[in-house]
Amino acid sequence: MDKRWLDWAIAVGVAASLVVAGHPATAPGYALLALSGLALVARRTAPVAVLAATGLLAFGYQATGADVPVIAFLFAVYSTMRAGHRVVTLAGSVLMLATLPLAALLSPRDLTTYEAFAQTRDVLQIAWLIAAAAAGEALRQAERRADEAERTREETALRRAGEERLHIARELHDSLTHQISVIKLQAEVAVHLARKRGEDVPEPLLVIRDAGREASRELRATLEALRDDDKNPPHGIDDVPELVERARSTGLDARLTIDGSHDDIPAAVGRTAYRIVQESLTNIARHAAAESALVHLDCRPDALVIRVDDDGGAVPPNPRPGVGLLGMRERVTALGGHLQAAPRSEGGFRVQAELPVAQP
């Protein structure tokens, strides 16, 4: 059940029980009893205010002569303790115990001082106050321990994930880096010797050399991503200008425009945006033979839209070789977004991703 409906159900139930228990009472007495119960609807959002309101209403209906327990105040004591307001709860309870005899003396029942104090001991026993406060404190402690346990589990999972990433990075480095380097070096030496002797270089040999270079670059990028941990914080939107400036240093006329504020963009969305821009600019430099590129970030309230356009020439059948595009698509899909990568009608290529800001 929705908590709002539960709060309303409790408030109406307490109000009804107080009105029934207050019979016979004056019209103002019934009104004060009902209001003290209905005030409990805000006990989750404003527990201190509810404590003060139920206390004042209890004083009021005691002064009218309504001889009923201050049940609403006990609920308020429970709620303020659960919210962690120990001092306020203690002060409010002491003040209530001190003022209720005065309310009884002001009532039209013509009580003596002894009778007023005796009645308030029956109406608001200290044991009930202690029980309400203890219940609220016990639940607060239980929730705090549950939160700490959940936080510990998350930290343990993150630590294990980081250790596994580093383990994979070491394994890749030890097993693949050397072998790929040997293949690339042997192919380059063979191409060099063939050209030195004036021979035609076989096309398969050139393919092997180029594939070795590409595999070496991809492996280095993979190892860098795997080693992104607390000692080497992952990049985000704030680092995109550096990417664009780095692309400009290679001779590409790269420009960046940002619409809206990215201060509230989640870290995971920022990391993915950085990787998309990084991979897109890398692909432009490798494959597009473009002269210019435009990176546009549109920071909307509900989504971050990344668009990277280039003015490259004719687009080959496989315009973005390698696993870069597949990796971008996987990152975007993991965040619940979608990616489009296709040639532009006016020429060149466009990569556009939309990442939801509010994560499911």
Give pLDDT, residue 317: 41
Q: Which domain-ending residue is among 228, 246, 274?
A: 228
Cβ-in-10-Å burial (0-12, 13-18, 19+) of 318 comes to: exposed
Rg (CA), the chain: 36
Q: Which domain-ending residue is among 228, 259, 276?
A: 228
Strands 338-343, 292-299: parallel, antiparallel or unpaired by DSSP? unpaired
Same-domain check for residues 215 and 256: no
| Rounded Cα gap, residues 166 and 155, in angstroms | 17
Determine the number of helices (DSSP H) and then strands (DSSP E) in the chain: 12, 5
Percent of the chain topping pLDDT 90: 15
Q: Which of 88, 76, 13, 70 is nearest to 47 (CA)?
A: 76
Residue at token pair 């998350």: 154
| Rounded Cα gap, residues 290 and 189, in angstroms | 30
Give pLDDT, residue 282: 82
Same-domain check for residues 160 and 104: no
Amino acid at 110: D
Domain count within the chain: 3
The secondary structure element, H or E, covering residue 101 is helix 86-106
Same-domain check for residues 222 and 264: no
Same-domain check for residues 207 and 255: no
| Rounded Cα gap, residues 327 and 40, in angstroms | 53
Give pLDDT, residue 318: 44
Query: Does a structural domain hold residue 124?
Result: no
Query: Does a structural domain hold residue 117?
Result: no
Phi, psi of 347 (to 5 degrees): 105, 155
Same-domain check for residues 194 and 172: yes
Q: 92 lies in which domain range?
A: 3-108
Tell me which residues of the chain have a pLDDT lower than 50. Answer: 1, 123-124, 230-231, 314-323, 359-360
Same-domain check for residues 278 and 300: yes
Same-domain check for residues 46 and 96: yes
Residue 148 tokens, joined: 């700490």
Query: Does a structural domain hold residue 307?
Result: yes
Cβ-in-10-Å burial (0-12, 13-18, 19+) of 196 comes to: exposed
The CATH number given to whatever domain includes residue 325 is: 3.30.565.10
Q: Which domain-ending residue is among 169, 196, 228?
A: 228
Q: Which of 222, 237, 242, 235 is nearest to 306 (CA)?
A: 237
Residue 114 tokens, joined: 């002894």
Query: Does a structural domain hold residue 139?
Result: no
Same-domain check for residues 180 and 213: yes
pLDDT, tens digit, for every residue of 83-113? 889 899 888 888 887 777 777 677 666 666 6
Give pLDDT, residue 115: 64
Give pLDDT, residue 23: 67
Residue 1 tokens, joined: 């059940």
Query: Does a structural domain hold residue 303?
Result: yes
The secondary structure element, H or E, covering residue 183 is helix 178-196
Residue at token pair 């030890």: 174
Helix 86-106 / helix 113-123 crossing angle, nearest 10 deg: 140
Same-domain check for residues 241 and 346: yes
Give pLDDT, residue 319: 44
Give pLDDT, residue 353: 95
Helix 27-38 / helix 3-21 crossing angle, nearest 10 deg: 160
Same-domain check for residues 81 and 100: yes
Query: Does a structural domain hold residue 290?
Result: yes
Query: Does a structural domain hold residue 49?
Result: yes
Angle 182-169-207 from CA coordinates, rounded to 5° = 35
Residue 28 tokens, joined: 């103002």
Query: Does a structural domain hold residue 120?
Result: no
Same-domain check for residues 98 and 18: yes
Give pLDDT, residue 296: 96
Same-domain check for residues 197 and 242: no
| Rounded Cα gap, residues 121 and 17, in angstroms | 21
